């Protein structure tokens, strides 16, 4: 910048232009107060006891209350009860360090629904350094949390069919085995493989093969209870798991699964017969882990496939 041109700055077109004068504040309102009131970020000034003494328009819009309803209100009165403990810890940190940690919490909107927000606060001190209140910035993070939840779901579920993937399967089986050790019953683990799936892809195309897997996964979920597990390991392989009262209930589940899978699938106006091989392991002993259970039903399924080629076969390990 040329030294002979004071108080100038480059404009958007790259040429030097005189800097605009600072706009005058409305009578009786400082520039700082005007900036607070019109800031795009939701802001609140509170007394040391948490009572709101000043709020801006962005906060009113976020919470759905007029300013006069928020003035005199407290954070605890707006906060979901389950988040009050976190608030207390943040206030303690604020008092000790002069600035609190950013916390994620829930405020209750004027219409009753909950709003996920991130709150960051800093102490306000008088000229002598004595704390007289706090200013808090409140950020709406509902969309951010939704994106994070969706990413977490995608990391733990099969993107094609929406059922669980291997990352969740081991945890589900271990949890069911612990429940069996505690409450009794049996844990049935079924390994399902679509016979001649390559032929479906070759004759009808990969889109048709994907549709067959989607239809199959929907039927499997409908055949099980809500608390049971359907997982896709990849390709045409699925694992089902259920904690049941007896081995007879497990056999009934296997028969029901084989029945729904045997129903024809309509692909591109063509009816396709889909046959599956189902191997099942029934765990009724104490202290079993997910690894041996998966290995047993995997072996049972491949025994069944080999048996079909020979005209015989076992369906249960």
Strands 237-244 and 265-267: unpaired
Of 87, 228, 236, 303, which is the active-site residue? 236
Q: Is residue 5 part of a domain?
A: no
Q: In what order do the strands lie in the sheet with 229-234?
A: 229-234, 237-244, 186-194, 276-283
Q: Is residue 194 part of a domain?
A: yes
Closest C-alpha among 143, 199, 200, 192 to residue 163:
192
Residues 175 and 284 in one domain: yes
Separation between Cα atoms, residue 312 and residue 14, nearest integer Å: 84
pLDDT bin (cut points 50, 70, 90) of residue 271 is confident
Please give the DSSP secondary-structure letter assigned to residue 83. Answer: G
Residues 178 and 306 in one domain: yes
Contact (CB, 8 A) for 277 and 294: no
In degrees, rounded to 5, the angle at the alpha carbon of residue 151 between the alpha carbons of residues 148 and 157 is 140
What number of other Cβ atoms are within 10 A of residue 227's Cβ? 10
Q: Is residue 113 part of a domain?
A: yes
Q: Assess whether 255 carries a catalytic annotation.
A: no
Task: Determine the average pLDDT of the residues in 248-265.
Answer: 92
Q: Is residue 150 part of a domain?
A: no
More confident residue, 264 or 110: 110
Separation between Cα atoms, residue 272 and residue 200, nearest integer Å: 8
Contact (CB, 8 A) for 117 and 138: yes
Contacts of 252 (CB under 8 A, 6+ apart): none
Least confident range of 11-15, 168-172, 229-233: 11-15
Q: Is residue 25 part of a domain?
A: no
Contacts of 284 (CB under 8 A, 6+ apart): 180, 185, 186, 247
CATH number at residue 129: 3.30.450.20
Q: Is residue 195 part of a domain?
A: yes
Q: pLDDT tens, 284-302?
A: 888 776 666 566 655 655 5
Q: What domain range includes position 58?
A: 31-145
Q: Is residue 14 part of a domain?
A: no
At which of 145, 168, 185 does a domain end?
A: 145
Residues 228 and 98 in one domain: no
What is the pTM (predicted TM-score) of this model? 0.56
Residues 139 and 270 in one domain: no
Kindly tell me the burial class for residue 163, based on how many C-beta atoms sit within 10 Å of its own C-beta (0-12, 13-18, 19 or more): buried
User: Which pLDDT score is estimated for 123?
Assistant: 94
Residues 131 and 167 in one domain: no
Say how many domains are in the chain. 2
């Amino acid at each position: 910048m040329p030294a002979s041109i004071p108080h100038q700055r480059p404009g958007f077109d790259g040429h030097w232009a005189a800097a605009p004068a600072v706009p005058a504040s409305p009578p009786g309102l400082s520039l700082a107060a005007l900036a607070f009131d019109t800031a795009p970020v939701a802001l609140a000034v509170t007394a040391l006891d948490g009572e709101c003494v000043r709020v801006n328009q962005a906060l009113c819009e976020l919470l759905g209350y007029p300013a006069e309803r928020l003035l005199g209100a407290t954070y605890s009165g707006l906060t979901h009860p389950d988040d009050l403990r976190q608030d207390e810890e943040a206030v303690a940190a604020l008092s000790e360090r002069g600035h609190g940690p950013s916390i994620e919490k829930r405020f209750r909107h004027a219409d009753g629904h909950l709003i996920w927000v991130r709150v960051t606060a800093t102490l306000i001190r008088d000229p002598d350094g004595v704390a007289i209140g706090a200013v808090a910035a409140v950020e709406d993070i509902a969309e951010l949390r939704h994106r994070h939840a969706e990413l977490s779901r995608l990391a733990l579920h099969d993107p094609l069919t929406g059922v669980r993937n291997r990352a969740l399967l081991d945890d589900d089986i271990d949890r069911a085995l612990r429940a069996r050790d505690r409450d009794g019953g049996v844990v049935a683990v079924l390994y399902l493989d679509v016979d001649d799936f390559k032929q479906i892809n070759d004759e009808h195309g990969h889109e048709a093969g994907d549709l067959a897997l989607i239809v199959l996964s929907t039927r499997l979920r409908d055949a099980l209870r809500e608390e049971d597990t359907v997982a896709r390991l990849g390709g045409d392989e699925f694992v089902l798991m259920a904690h049941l009262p007896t081995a007879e209930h497990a056999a009934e589940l296997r028969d029901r699964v084989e029945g729904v899978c045997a129903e024809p699938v309509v692909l591109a106006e063509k009816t396709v017969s889909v046959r599956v091989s189902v191997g099942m392991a029934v765990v009724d002993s104490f202290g079993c882990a997910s690894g041996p259970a998966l290995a047993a039903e995997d072996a049972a399924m491949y025994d069944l496939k080999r048996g079909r080629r020979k005209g015989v076969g076992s369906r249960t390990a």
